[in-house]
Amino acid sequence: MSVDIIDLGMGNVSSIANLLIRLGIHSRLVSRPSDLNSDTVIIPGVGAIGAYVERFRSLGFHDAIYSCAEKGKQVIGICLGFQLLTQWSEESGGIECLGLIKAQTRRLKGDTTHNGWETFSFDRRTIADNTSFRAPSLTRKYLVDGRVYYNHEYGVECFDEKAITIPIESFNKCYSAMVVKDNVVGMQFHPEKSQSTGLELFKQLL
């Protein structure tokens, strides 16, 4: 198994690569769309979405990710990469995003920053009918239950009826912790910083 990690020089790519190494998964840092050739693509990201989208588009990744999704490849967005999967973000004056998930990204209520640990639970049986996901080869477990780490000021409001959404509990379930739609997955938290919970979650998805 091999995983491509998009590297725009603006994200936490080395931490994600190290997480995959711990799982025995080979990964490649990809800075050109023409080099994408794995069955799974991870879009990491930290910072402001305006600069991120500008670089993402200028390098040609916009069309490349559409192509990956259409071909059935697994596309995983993490933190800012998750927000990129939505239709639109309020940040940076309003930015059009990829639209792979029917959702919008908005400033957290109260103009707060969500920084720290929260409980998280994912039952893989909820996506058992999703033929886009093969049975995991790294574990026989189906339940991930633990804590995950967040650091963000904007949250995803998902209204996609075809998606499975796990909410962030501390915001009265207004924002999404994780969204799964067909072969597209978005996570607002950082699995690479979430210790054993992040490892177990990746075992379920890869």
Active site residue 97: no
Q: Single out the catalytic residue among 68, 91, 158, 190.
A: 190
**Dist. CA 166–CA 94, nearest whole Å:** 25
Listed in order, strand segments (DSSP E) in the chain are: 2-6, 26-30, 40-43, 74-78, 88-89, 95-96, 103-107, 114-123, 143-152, 154-158, 164-167, 176-181, 184-187
Active site residue 79: yes
Residue type at position 50:
G
Q: Single out the catalytic residue among 68, 79, 97, 158.
A: 79
Active site residue 68: no
Residue with token string 């574990």: 139
Burial code of 29-52, b = ≥16 C-beta within 10 A, e = fewer?
ebeebeebebbbbbbbbeebbeeb
Q: Is 199 left (phi over 0), alpha (psi -120 to 50) or beta?
A: alpha
Burial class (CB in 10 A: 0-12, 13-18, 19+), 26: exposed
Is 57 within 8 Å of 34 (Cβ atoms)? no
What is the set of active-site residues?
Answer: 79, 190, 192
